[in-house]
Amino acid sequence: VDCPRCSAHNPEMAHYCYRCGQDLRRADARSRRADSFAVQSAESVTQFALISTILPHTNRRTADSYRWAFLATSFLVLVLTFLGLIPAAVVAGAFLVPITYLVYLYDVNLWEDAPLPAVLALFVVTGLLSALVSLLFFRWAFHTQFAQFRAIGFRGTALAIPLDSLLVFAVLLPIVAEVVKNIGPLWLASRPKFDDMIDGLTFGIAAGTAYAAAESLVVFAPVLSQDVRTTAGISVWVPIVLNLMIVKPLIYGTATGIAVATFSGRGEGHDGFTSKYAANFAFAAGMNILYWLGIRLLSYVAFGQALGLLWGVAILAVLIIRARVLMHTALLETAVEDAANGRRSKAATTDGGFCPECEMPLLPDALFCIVCGESVRATSNAARRSIREPSPEGSA
Ligand SMILES: [Zn+2]
Ligand SMILES: [Zn+2]
């Protein structure tokens, strides 16, 4: 079968083109295979699937262990909250997402030659900058405005919404924070060895989660030092802990990931400060502003904390879908462009190996599995190594 899109010759049994990922069983040559996400071919592109979006280098098997790790630690944080051990819950929660992400980066061993130090530095630098910005906003410069939220916080009877507090903490702070979250990842993404779009996304997510952790610690520091052990107000604390410990870092991370991914751009090298980057930076900052406007305003109504949690999940869903469409389009379009220019793609297989997802043999020079359509580019380094050296002694 000749591919209608890139005209590569594929074997008769191929479901997907090995070069450009085109769905060969579909008549429409312009179809974007929306039912099969290039990073995780069993899922559709617009599915609210967290793991395959923020941990794109996992396959279905390793994704499961992360899913369980996430659920188990979230459960632990909830148990701590129910026991009234709020400080422990806050600390455990603040580090839940960033540590999971660090383990993931270590696990997939993405960049053999520049491994942990670069990523650790990214976490530390972004965390320190975040602590600085958070101290500046919450303690030093605008503490009176912040206190205005607190004063009428959980009452639900407030009629006057403090407009200047809202402007500072739901508009100005998210914009400043987005700039800070971008600094480290942009620097890394402009290095030639981290020029892949998935690298950019990964760095952005890492920085976003680090920022969220440091911010949570600064904001909740008063709670931590009081050594509160109380069961009063658990119904208020549970949604707060879930929202700020799990949903917030994921929102920060995905939003920044989207912006940095556009900075990386498709193909070799980084695209830099293009209008596309400006648009996606604005989108990232905008989603953060929407998130915080919702959280602050909803805290004035009945069940505001629970509604705030739902609001956060809705914002996260939009970000996840956006990130997936971005990656999916990039993986397919780059492959088509490479094929059209007769270029050999960087991540393509050299001679065969097996698909890490469905374990069927891969063709030489393949960018996609012809059976399940998985992108070879989105597999982990360990899996990629066994693709390049088809007979490993111990398969990962
Ligand atoms: Zn093709
Ligand atoms: Zn496959």
- d(CA 392, CA 386) in angstroms, rounded, equals 6
- d(CA 173, CA 130) in angstroms, rounded, equals 11
Top pLDDT among 234 and 35 is at 35
| 375 beta partners | 368
Cα 337 to averaged position of ligand 2 atoms, centre (Å): 22
The average pLDDT across 37-52 equals 91
Q: Which residues of 181-205 are buried (b: 16+ CB within 10 A; e: fewer)?
A: bbebbbebbeeeebbbbbbbbbbbb
Residue 262: Cβ within 10 Å count: 29
Q: Which of 8-17, 19-28, 247-256 is least confident?
A: 19-28
Cα 39 to averaged position of ligand 1 atoms, centre (Å): 17
Highest mean pLDDT among 37-41, 104-108, 278-282, 370-374: 278-282
- Residue type at position 78: L
pLDDT of 395 strictly over 50: no
- d(CA 382, CA 269) in angstroms, rounded, equals 23
pLDDT-derived band of residue 278, with 50, 70 and 90 as boundaries? very high
Q: What is the pLDDT of residue 394?
A: 40
pLDDT of 231 strictly over 60: no
- d(CA 131, CA 392) in angstroms, rounded, equals 45
Cα 375 to averaged position of ligand 2 atoms, centre (Å): 8
The average pLDDT across 314-319 equals 97
Q: Which of 108-117, 305-314, 329-338 is least confident?
A: 108-117
> What ligand has the least distance to the C-alpha of 60?
2
pLDDT-derived band of residue 392, with 50, 70 and 90 as boundaries? very low
- Residue type at position 44: S
pLDDT-derived band of residue 245, with 50, 70 and 90 as boundaries? confident
> What ligand has the least distance to the C-alpha of 337?
1
Contact 311, 298 (CB under 8 A): yes
pLDDT of 234 strictly over 70: yes
Cα 21 to averaged position of ligand 1 atoms, centre (Å): 6
Read off the tokens for 194. Answer: 């981290």
Q: What is the pLDDT of residue 396?
A: 37
Q: What is the pLDDT of residue 89?
A: 87
CA torsion angle 183 187 188 191 (round to 10): 160
Q: What is the pLDDT of residue 393?
A: 42
- Residue type at position 211: Y
Cα 269 to averaged position of ligand 1 atoms, centre (Å): 23
Cα 99 to averaged position of ligand 2 atoms, centre (Å): 30
pLDDT of 34 strictly over 90: no
Q: What is the pLDDT of residue 227?
A: 55
pLDDT-derived band of residue 390, with 50, 70 and 90 as boundaries? very low
Cα 278 to averaged position of ligand 2 atoms, centre (Å): 36
Q: Please identify which residue in the block is written with the tokens 């900058």.
A: 129
Cα 336 to averaged position of ligand 1 atoms, centre (Å): 7
- d(CA 167, CA 184) in angstroms, rounded, equals 26
> What ligand has the least distance to the C-alpha of 23?
1
* Tens of pLDDT, residues 122-179: 999 999 999 999 999 998 888 888 877 765 444 445 456 788 889 999 999 999 999 9
> What ligand has the least distance to the C-alpha of 368?
2
* Tens of pLDDT, residues 78-130: 899 888 888 888 888 888 889 888 888 887 766 665 667 888 899 999 999 99
pLDDT-derived band of residue 268, with 50, 70 and 90 as boundaries? confident
Read off the tokens for 360. Answer: 């069927």
Q: What does the angle CA 303 – CA 305 – CA 309 come to, to the nearest 5 degrees?
A: 115
Q: What is the pLDDT of residue 311?
A: 97
Top pLDDT among 380 and 146 is at 146
pLDDT of 32 strictly over 90: no
- d(CA 104, CA 163) in angstroms, rounded, equals 41
> What ligand has the least distance to the C-alpha of 8?
1
Q: How far is CA 159 from the centre of its chain?
A: 37
The average pLDDT across 274-283 equals 96
* Tens of pLDDT, residues 181-192: 999 999 999 988
Cα 46 to averaged position of ligand 2 atoms, centre (Å): 20
**Listed residue (86, 296, 122) closest to 204, CA to CA:** 122
pTM, full prediction: 0.90
Cα 195 to averaged position of ligand 2 atoms, centre (Å): 25
Cα 360 to averaged position of ligand 1 atoms, centre (Å): 19
Residue 362: Cβ within 10 Å count: 24
| 23 beta partners | 16
